[in-house]
Structure 1
Amino acid sequence: MQTIGIIAKQADPRAMKAACELTTWLQQQGLDVFVADSLANCIEVPAKPLDEIASHVELMVVLGGDGTLLQTGRCFVDADVPILGINLGRLGFLTDTPLSNMFDVMKDVLAGQFKVKKHFALQVDVQRDGQTISSGVAMNDVVLQRNDHPRMIEFEMYARQQLVFRLRADGLVLATPAGSTAYALSAGGAIVHPEIQAISVVPICPHTVSNRPIILPAYDEIQLKLIDSPAPAALNLDGQVHSTLNMGDDIHIKRAGDITLVYLEHWHYFDVLRNKLGWAGQQ
């Protein structure tokens, strides 16, 4: 690897300081550095917009929490550029490397002592009166939910062009395996191993005791139709990209491409679950 990209959580002094220190260290190793344009004013190296930087780098380093990594990952779908997350956030399922280990981990990665895992994303298109009004990509989850009104919404879900259910609820989470430990888990969904190609379907406070989370094959195309809402509802991608929905809107969700994340050779998924979720048997 000769060219490294860096992005840091905005308005976070620790992240900005770490980005400056990492840039200097990488340059001392004789490597070329690009930064996301959000860092252009504080680091004197070439800067690129986040949605363009993937074509210029061989490794992307994310300094922040899972939110910063999700923002980055959506711009790296099918780029085949590995992303290394350095955790400055809270839980950090995706950004697993602590800041205190940053330079040691970078040495291992630059020496080729790492492995990669691919996580698929979801492509989302919203249609109104037969016209596509918005499109986007989610790495963790797609969430249909009531917006700022207190009443439930009603919607239908289809898979393989067949009706799955019609439901009144506060909303619905469609999660990738990477997102199964996020909002979907809080809503009662299962933890899905990242090597399983599946989409979790998790209702949020459904108005029926018989409706339960289900798991669908990742290659199934899913359609949601907003049937009733006392006010405009909301669609959120990774909790970061927001759209307003009207009654009658259709949301089409399908598997998108892959996002490549870096892990150290000793990394194991169940170690992460034990440590992050506080399960018994921590080592």
Structure 2
Amino acid sequence: MIYIPTIGIMVNTGKKKAIELGNRFLEFLQDRSLPYLVEPGSAGCYKGVNRAGSFEEVQEKVDYLFIFGGDGTLLRAAGKFCGTGIPLLGINVGSLGFMTVIEADFLYEAAEELLAGNFTITSRMMIASSVYRDGEKIYCSHGLNDAVISRGDNQNLLRLNFYIDEEFIAEYQGDGMIAATPTGSTAYSLSAGGPIINPGLDVMLLTPICPHNLYIRPMVIRSDEQVRIKPRTKSGGMRISTDGRSTCSLSNNDEIIVERSDNEVKMIHFPDRNFYRILRDKMKLGKF
């Protein structure tokens, strides 16, 4: 008996192109009598669809989740579906789309490859960031890309003390700190001068944002090491954000813990779209 997978659909509901492409993909699935479910946040875009499922139903029945949008949409999907084991495939209708590796023109080709079994599934590590105030945990969030400590609306330099596994590393002044996964190394960290890291590596990246100390440079550490950061800035306005979504205001003497998350995200990859080819095509690496 041939196993027929159930396809999940998630779209960026704020992008008309994503909604239209998702609708055409639904017709593709219907024409082939393939089972599918539309996740609840996207169901309102397709009024005639009678296969909208609750989150629990999607989690239980969906084998692969197709995400129509940009990298931001995929990050939201990662936040919702991390730990479920459902592999994600991003269809790019954004601008750069480094993680949404399938361009709209290749959607149906990718779907046929998936149905034929010509793909692999990889695991991407996530990071967990927590904030403690007076010994009490007031914030915890998990991210596929990064956790960012920033000045927020504070116009002064931040003064940060940071430690790795209880070992004091440095005190420095600057605009903040980025703790990134290998997946997130091509996002904000790259803009701040951090290195590009293959997402298959088991490491974490610490990238200072505009440090005033010339000796402070990005660091790559083991993923099983814990990072502890203590702000020493008297004025307020500081914030921490995870994947640009979940945020928390910080106060002087808060303690921020960043470490590898217990959750992972499964991603679908095709043989002709490996990391280095995507890097060359999306980042224009080696082109003048």
* TM-score normalised to structure 2 length: 0.93
Deviation at 1:28, TM superposition (A): 2.4
Distance 1:36 1:129 in 2: 39
Deviation at 1:281, TM superposition (A): 6.1
Distance 1:48 1:280 in 2: 45
- Tell me the secondary structure at the aligned position of residue 228 of structure 1: coil
Q: CA RMSD in A?
A: 1.7
Gaps of 5+ in 1: none
Gaps of 5+ in 2: none
Distance 1:52 1:186 in 2: 39
Aligned to 2:17: 14
Deviation at 1:50, TM superposition (A): 5.5
Whether contact under 8 Å (1:152, 1:229) holds in the other structure is no
- Tell me the secondary structure at the aligned position of residue 232 of structure 2: strand
Distance 1:154 1:51 in 2: 44
Distance 1:11 1:75 in 2: 18
Aligned to 1:114: 119
Distance 1:176 1:229 in 2: 30
Distance 2:114 2:185 in 1: 27
What residue identity is the alignment partner of 1:147?
A: G
Which of 150, 157, 162 is the aligned partner of 1:157?
Answer: 162
Q: Are the structure 2 counterparts of residues 97 and 210 from structure 1 closer, same or farther at C-alpha, using a change threshold of 3 Å?
A: same
Structure 1 residue runs of 4 or more that deviate by more than 6 Å after TM superposition: none
Q: Are the structure 2 counterparts of residues 276 and 210 from structure 1 closer, same or farther at C-alpha, using a change threshold of 3 Å?
A: same
Q: Are the structure 2 counterparts of residues 134 and 46 from structure 1 closer, same or farther at C-alpha, using a change threshold of 3 Å?
A: farther
The farther-off stretch of 174-183 and 44-53 is: 44-53
Q: Are the structure 2 counterparts of residues 191 and 48 from structure 1 closer, same or farther at C-alpha, using a change threshold of 3 Å?
A: same
Aligned to 1:144: 149
Distance 2:140 2:77 in 1: 17
* TM-score normalised to structure 1 length: 0.94
Note if 1:276 corresponds to 2:279: no
How many residues in Structure 1 have an aligned counterpart in Structure 2?
282
The 5-angstrom pairing of residues 164-183 of structure 1 reads: 164-183=169-188
The 5-angstrom pairing of residues 1-283 of structure 1 reads: 1-43=4-46, 44-48=49-53, 53-256=58-261, 257-280=263-286
Q: Percent identity?
A: 29
The farther-off stretch of 185-194 and 76-85 is: 76-85
Q: Are the structure 2 counterparts of residues 54 and 89 from structure 1 closer, same or farther at C-alpha, using a change threshold of 3 Å?
A: same
